[in-house]
């Protein structure tokens, strides 16, 4: 057995190949620089947040202009950037999602959606979330995400969340096709709604593609089936688009991609062009918050709002949805070709620039190749490419290629060349 292979599964050894933290000092477009002057291609877009390349001059200009004017306005006053951004969001929102709330973090946006669901379903006691979901790290959203090992916050977390199963096309339940798995999960979810909980269900909250949980895209039957179940049982469908919104999937929203409109959509990350902003879009028929129910002091931070407006305009002006789509087609083709040559690549995932590969030591057993994944990340650094990693949901074997949507084709190609080369190196050493 090769050296690397012997290390698999030895959790303690895994830490040994984790590189030191890099100190970043500058970013432009798809590039970042560290404090030693090294320049990297950033395939993480800093937690998949720079859908528009970093420090875009149009965004910086808008933010600077706003800063010179007024930096802080509490939410019970109006503001020009607030009005302009709301108009823009209503223009691009799926269907009737025309009520808008802002805050500064995705976790708080998810909490806002949860609050709105209970506000609209008085008497309901539970909210369904999917196993392997990730909705944030606030007290509430940690409880709505997958079970965290050794979670010290359990005593202070709400217990309204019920985790329900979801299909996983790469690892469907025994002998099933992804669509059969989807149908089974939908039945189990319906059973849970009807007879699995005490008190009614206010909503089902799900990510459009499970990002941190392993880039799991469900079969289309599942999205459509959840929508149907929610309608049938009078519960709200909440879609967390924090990773997928603003062009990442080659469409403005995952809701557009799947043709399924939720009642509440959660956004974050890519909207701010590097400035903190998140929020929700809610169906115009829903009851909105009453005074005092949702008003974070900096929730309508005008600098972020101005930056967000410039960001969305740039995404539209530069046709970044289509760019992401084209890049995604190119990257997927390259990765599928690599899969033929690299036994470590178990699965290739897209769409758009929501790109990743799952590394396995055994394609039949689909054993997560954690050590090798960490090696890809570490060796990528030596070649000055930052790949995205995943450390969650007990897998930790995903390599993510999620740069800004306006990355040049040359930089994307170079990143994939590096991925190809380091996979070859690692596999060569394991022989
Ligand atoms: C799908 C999803 N929801 C919620 C969050 C939490 O967002 P934030 O880290 O801004 O609180 C994240 C962050 O990774 C996310 O990916």
What was the pLDDT predicted at 9?
36
Mean pLDDT of 109-132: 97
Low-confidence winner among 58-67, 322-331, 395-404 (lowest mean pLDDT): 395-404
Residue 6 pLDDT: 33
Predicted confidence at residue 393, as pLDDT, reads 57
317: pLDDT confidence band, cut at 50, 70 and 90? very high
pLDDT of residue 310: 98
pTM for the whole structure: 0.95
Q: Which of 47, 49, 107 to mutate to test the pocket of ligand 1 (most atoms within 8 A of CB)?
A: 107
Residue 274 has pLDDT above 70, yes or no: yes
pLDDT at 170: 95
Residue among 268, 272, 356, 398 to mutate when testing ligand 1 (max atoms within 8 A of CB): 268
Q: Is 247 in the pocket of ligand 1 (CB under 6 A)?
A: no
For residues 268-290, average pLDDT: 98
pLDDT tens track for 347-358 = 999 999 999 999
Residue nearest to atom 10 of ligand 1 (CA): 106
pLDDT computed for residue 17 by the predictor:
65
Q: Is the pLDDT of residue 118 over 90?
A: yes
Any atom of ligand 1 within 6 Å of the Cβ of 371 = no
Residue nearest to ligand 1 atom 2, measured at CA = 135
Q: How far is CA 225 from CA 97, 129, 237, 258, 318, in A?
A: 20, 15, 11, 12, 35
DSSP string, 48-98: HT-SSPBT-HHHHHHHHHHHHH-S---TTS--HHHHHHHHHHHHHSSTT--
Where does the pLDDT of residue 11 fall: very low under 50, low under 70, confident under 90, or very high at 90 and above? very low
Helix (H, G, I), strand (E, B) or coil at 140: helix
CB 110 near ligand 1, within 6 Å: yes
Average pLDDT, the chain: 94
What pLDDT is recorded for position 389?
Answer: 87
pLDDT of residue 19: 74
> Among 143, 166, 269, which residue has the most ligand 1 atoms within 8 Å of its CB, making it the best to mutate?
269
What integer is the mean pLDDT of 312-320? 98
> Is the pLDDT at 121 greater than 60, yes or no?
yes
Mean pLDDT of 84-96: 97
Closest CA to 414 of 401, 424, 426, 405: 401
240 lines ligand 1 (CB under 6 A): yes
> Can you tell me the mean pLDDT for 173-202?
96
Which pLDDT score, from 0 to 100, does residue 16 have? 55
Say if residues 111 and 138 touch (Cβ distance below 8 Å): yes
**DSSP-derived 3-state class of residue 312:** helix
pLDDT in tens, 203-252: 999 999 999 999 999 999 999 999 999 999 999 999 999 999 999 999 99
CB 269 within 8 A of CB 280: no
Question: Ligand 1 centre and the CA of 242: distance in Å?
Answer: 6
For residue 370, the CA-to-ligand 1 centroid distance in Å is 23
Does 105 or 21 have the greater pLDDT score? 105
> How far apart, in Å, are the Cα atoms of 219 and each of 150, 174, 185?
32, 17, 11
Cβ of 106 below 6 Å from ligand 1:
yes
Atom 4, ligand 1: which residue's CA is nearest? 135
- Measured from the CB, is residue 132 less than 6 Å from ligand 1? no
Interval 180-207 mean pLDDT: 97
């Amino acid at each position: 057995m090769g050296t690397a292979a012997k290390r698999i599964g030895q959790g303690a050894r895994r830490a040994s190949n984790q590189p030191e933290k890099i100190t970043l000092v500058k970013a432009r477009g798809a590039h970042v620089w560290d404090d030693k002057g090294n320049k990297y291609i950033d395939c993480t877009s800093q937690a998949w947040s720079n859908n528009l390349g970093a420090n875009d001059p149009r965004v910086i200009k808008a933010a600077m202009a706003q800063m010179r004017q007024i930096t802080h306005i509490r939410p019970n006053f109006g503001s020009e950037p607030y009005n302009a951004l709301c108009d823009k969001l209503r223009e691009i929102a799926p269907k009737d999602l025309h009520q808008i709330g802002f805050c500064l973090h995705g976790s708080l946006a998810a909490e806002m959606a949860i609050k709105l669901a209970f506000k609209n379903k008085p008497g309901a006691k539970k909210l369904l979330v999917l196993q392997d979901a990730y909705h944030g790290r606030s007290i509430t959203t940690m409880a709505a995400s997958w079970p965290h090992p050794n979670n010290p916050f359990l005593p202070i977390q709400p217990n309204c969340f019920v985790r329900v199963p979801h299909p996983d096309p790469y690892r469907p339940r025994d002998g099933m096709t992804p669509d059969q798995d989807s149908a089974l999960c939908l039945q189990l979810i319906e059973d849970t709604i009807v007879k699995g909980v005490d008190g009614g269900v206010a909503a089902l909250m799900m990510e459009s593609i499970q990002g941190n949980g392993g880039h799991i895209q469900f079969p289309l039957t599942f999205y459509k089936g959840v929508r149907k179940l929610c309608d049938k049982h009078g519960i709200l469908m909440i879609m967390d688009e924090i990773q997928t919104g603003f062009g990442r999937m080659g469409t403005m929203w995952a809701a557009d991609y799947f043709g399924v409109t939720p009642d509440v959509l959660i956004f974050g990350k890519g909207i701010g062009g590097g400035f903190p902003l998140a929020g929700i879009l809610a169906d115009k028929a829903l009851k909105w918050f009453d005074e005092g129910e949702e008003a974070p002091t900096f929730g309508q931070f005008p600098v972020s709002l101005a930056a967000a407006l410039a960001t969305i305009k740039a995404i539209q002006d530069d046709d970044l949805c289509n760019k992401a789509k084209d890049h995604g087609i190119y990257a997927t083709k390259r990765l599928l070709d690599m899969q033929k040559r690299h036994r470590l690549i178990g699965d290739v995932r897209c769409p758009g620039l929501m790109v990743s590969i799952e590394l396995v030591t055994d394609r039949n057993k689909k054993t997560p190749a954690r050590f090798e994944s960490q090696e890809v990340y570490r060796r990528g650094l030596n070649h000055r490419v930052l790949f995205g990693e995943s450390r969650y949901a007990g897998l930790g074997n995903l390599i993510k290629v999620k740069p800004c949507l306006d990355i040049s084709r040359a930089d994307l190609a170079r990143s994939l060349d590096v991925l190809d080369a380091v996979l070859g190196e690692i596999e060569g050493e394991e022989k």
